Structure 1
Amino acid sequence: MSRPGLDTNPLELTPDWFNQLFEEIGIDAEVSGLTAKSIGTGQIGENVRFVFDYARKGDGAPATLVGKFPSDNETSLMTAKMLGHYEREVNFYRTFPKVAGRITPSALYTDYDPETNRFALIMEDMAPAEQGNQLTGCSVAEAERAMDAAAILHAAHWNDASLDTHPWLQGSAVAPPPALTMEATVALWTGFKDRYGPQLAQEDVEVGDAYTAALPKMQEIERPGPFALTHNDYRLDNMLFGKPGSPKPLAVVDWQTAGKGVPASDVAYFIGAGLTRDDRPKHEQALLRYYHARLQDEGVTDYDFDALYDDYRYTCFYGMSVAYGAAMLVKQTERGDQMFLTMLRRHAAQARDNNALELLP
């Protein structure tokens, strides 16, 4: 592919840019005009919806498309470069067709330039699907949809040794060491406490302190258990819920943190932050059993429920590290502050309610 150029603000992309793209990917159409509008709440990438007017519209020409592009914020750009976010998301769509397209929007075009950290991801528009809201939480029915998709994701590459052949995939055997050192991760927690201290309850601080104190040993200990392809930011803001009867009940987006990891980590991350503090204890066990049954439906039969629950408890701290780490590494916004604080509080409560602190080394 000749890689249509992307050297301008995505809100200013022209009909000619899309005409070149459509010619490259085999869509018979001539765009005569378009409108572009920023959508979503992403803080690492910018999402834009394109609505097209056509001089010629052949079969398969889309009325709208959604594009994802680099952030316009310098802090977020630096974080994305340091952590390999843009390269990883593009490679996810190129590498894992058993997942991409089945529980994600279909990707029409992907591009990444390592020299400039430029990337473009052009996808089907999932409208009228609605984005989940991390702050308000979700219903049990929506949580079950997330468990359905998690089971599909994890079962597709359950204990799949080929995951270790991808150096861009977090946690693979050939991936470089994490860009964030253990010392830096602990320092982010210290910085988070300094910034948000008056808004943090002491019981939540105590969970964070215990977790960060245990992190060095947790990194040294290789727990037995399964591994799979994981999303690692599996939460409501990264989910588009389809209307009744839609071909995709749920589309999962933002695969910038995809990795080889513990499947239960995605489940603990979603349940811990996706349900409100009041709702999670009421439905937690039922949702875990629902996910376990869906794994079995997808062909995973060598993982009993007790092992899943142990892995769930051990990995529920991961959501805290995402909350305080991301808060300090991406551009600060009012909604972002609310979201990260809400996530941290919910995950701290999840750890306490499930006696997870007793599992820390």
Structure 2
Amino acid sequence: MTSRPPERYPDPKEFDEGLYKTLRMLPDGKTLDTAWVRSRIWDGATDTNIPKNGVIRGMQANMFLLEVSGDQETRTFLVKRVVPSELPGKASEDIWREFVKSVRSEIDFYSIILEPEHATIRNLFPQVYYSAGTPKELDVRPQETAFIIIMENLSPNHYQTPMMNFDQAKLVMTSLANLHAHFWNKVQDEERGGFWVLQRRLKHQEVEVADETWRRFLERFPQLRDQVQESNLEDLGRLIKEMAPCLDHVVEQGACTRIHGDAKGWNLFFGKDGSEEKILFIDLQWTGRGHPLQDVAYALTTTLSPESLQRMDDLVDFYIQVLQDELSKIGEILPPGLRDSYNQVWLDYARVVITGLWKNLNQTSIESNKSKVGPSMINRSWEHVLFITRRISRLLNT
């Protein structure tokens, strides 16, 4: 396998001319040209263009806009291109295989929601015109795989943001409740969703060294000792490591529905005119069976604005009420104790934050992440670092 830079978010100021030249290459070896678009996407196509300023390089995928001209109009599509050999490196071949498996899950999901019984939730997702990948037997050799998803361009009427205010968060909670209620008790045979599932993270070898990782984190952020007045601050790594199996068990026991698995700001689209009652979800790579509060904990922690963090519990209460209402419409009952499990589900996510996602975080990267597409608020906001640390300390002290 060729050597590439370690896993990190690409610098948006750096344009990759080599990557740009490959964007028209499809997983089956065909070319994303006008003739192909005319036969697969829009029969009125007369010309195609990929504007350079519409290319967004990411850590897990590269996105670009495809402009398609016709005789009397021009249509624009959003293309998600996942080619491992074009992405930043990962720590091991096992991690690459897990990643490719997640991409395959997203492509399968878009096929699932086309089935008639899922018509009522299609308005939670953009329209997908084409999705495909290399043959599944190649998945064991990730560097030989390639995937593509061509969907509607949401940018004219929607926008993305790394953080959301309280009212926007209520929209997200409503949409998540609709998604969860729709799949309630219907995914028993699905694999678990979410990239932070404990078993899935073992190949990263991060939980075993959680205490050392946390010690080094405090060395990089010594001000936490002054700003977090909790007696267990120095021991958070060890404590979260000891609790990890128990927290994972709580999540597994409550895994009764399909979760998005990566519902952070960059994977949400809000209506520009403010009239949208729901938001749209993209990037379903980590969808699967899960505890409904996994999506809630993840969305609120990664995406709430600093001013709204202190109202997290209010938003959890709001979600629970909407979920209860949606479940009642289909004859289901909200499980007793679901709301009470939130803190444990939240700690399960916090485990991957302090053992993995913050492993290389420092003062400089917090600042540089503010100008990048992809990093969530936990990696670009000091207020989030402080909130998460305080909340872990207090929950583990109770």
| Range into which the TM-score falls when normalised by the shorter chain | 0.7 to 0.9
Q: Is contact 2:188-2:256 (8 Å) kept? A: no
AA of the residue aligned to 1:263? P
The equivalent of 2:292 in structure 1 is 263
The equivalent of 2:177 in structure 1 is 151
User: What is the 5 A alignment of 1:265-344?
Assistant: 265-281=294-310, 283-300=311-328, 301-303=332-334, 307-324=337-354, 325-326=356-357, 334-335=368-369, 336=375, 339-340=378-379, 342=381
Write out per-residue CA displacement over residues 275-319 of structure 1, whole angstroms, 9 at most, x where no aligned residue.
2454222x2333122212221332355116x72322211111233
The equivalent of 2:240 in structure 1 is 211
Distance 1:338 1:232, change over 3 A: closer
The equivalent of 1:5 in structure 2 is none
SS, match of residue 30 in structure 1: coil
Gap runs ≥5 in structure 1 = 1-7
Q: Is it true that 1:86 corresponds to 2:117 in the alignment?
A: no
Write out per-residue CA displacement over residues 32-58 of structure 1, whole angstroms, 9 at most, x where no aligned residue.
23133445574211111122233x46x
Higher mean displacement: 142-151 or 110-119? 110-119
Mapped to 1, the partners of 2:69 and 2:182 lie a distance apart of 39
The equivalent of 2:42 in structure 1 is 27
The equivalent of 1:68 in structure 2 is 80
Aligned residues: 333
Q: Is contact 1:67-1:122 (8 Å) kept? A: yes
AA of the residue aligned to 1:320? A
Distance 1:322 1:253, change over 3 A: farther
TM-score w.r.t. length of structure 1: 0.76
SS, match of residue 323 in structure 1: helix
Mapped to 1, the partners of 2:203 and 2:240 lie a distance apart of 12
AA of the residue aligned to 1:234? A
Residue of 17, 20, 41 corresponding to 2:32: 17
Q: Is contact 1:108-1:124 (8 Å) kept? A: yes
Please tell me the root mean square deviation across aligned C-alpha atoms, in Å. 3.7
The equivalent of 1:121 in structure 2 is 149
Write out per-residue CA displacement over residues 8-33 of structure 1, whole angstroms, 9 at most, x where no aligned residue.
94665459624354344463222323
AA of the residue aligned to 1:239? L
AA of the residue aligned to 2:46? V
TM-score w.r.t. length of structure 2: 0.70
SS, match of residue 307 in structure 1: coil
User: What is the 5 A alignment of 1:87-102?
Assistant: 87-97=104-114, 98=118, 101-102=122-123
The equivalent of 2:280 in structure 1 is 251
Q: Give % identity.
A: 17
Q: Is it true that 1:51 corresponds to 2:60 in the alignment?
A: no
SS, match of residue 234 in structure 1: coil
Mapped to 2, the partners of 1:90 and 1:104 lie a distance apart of 13
Q: Is it true that 1:105 corresponds to 2:126 in the alignment?
A: yes
Mapped to 1, the partners of 2:77 and 2:190 lie a distance apart of 29
The equivalent of 2:12 in structure 1 is none
Q: Is contact 1:317-1:348 (8 Å) kept? A: no
Distance 1:356 1:31, change over 3 A: farther
Higher mean displacement: 262-271 or 198-207? 198-207
Residue of 193, 203, 206 corresponding to 1:185: 206
Higher mean displacement: 13-22 or 40-49? 13-22
Write out per-residue CA displacement over residues 224-245 of structure 1, whole angstroms, 9 at most, x where no aligned residue.
4451101222211221111126
Q: Is it true that 1:165 corresponds to 2:181 in the alignment?
A: no
SS, match of residue 179 in structure 2: helix
SS, match of residue 34 in structure 2: helix
Residue of 187, 196, 199 corresponding to 2:221: 199
The equivalent of 1:348 in structure 2 is 389
What displacement does 1:165 show? 3.5
What displacement does 1:73 show? 2.6
Higher mean displacement: 102-111 or 268-277? 268-277
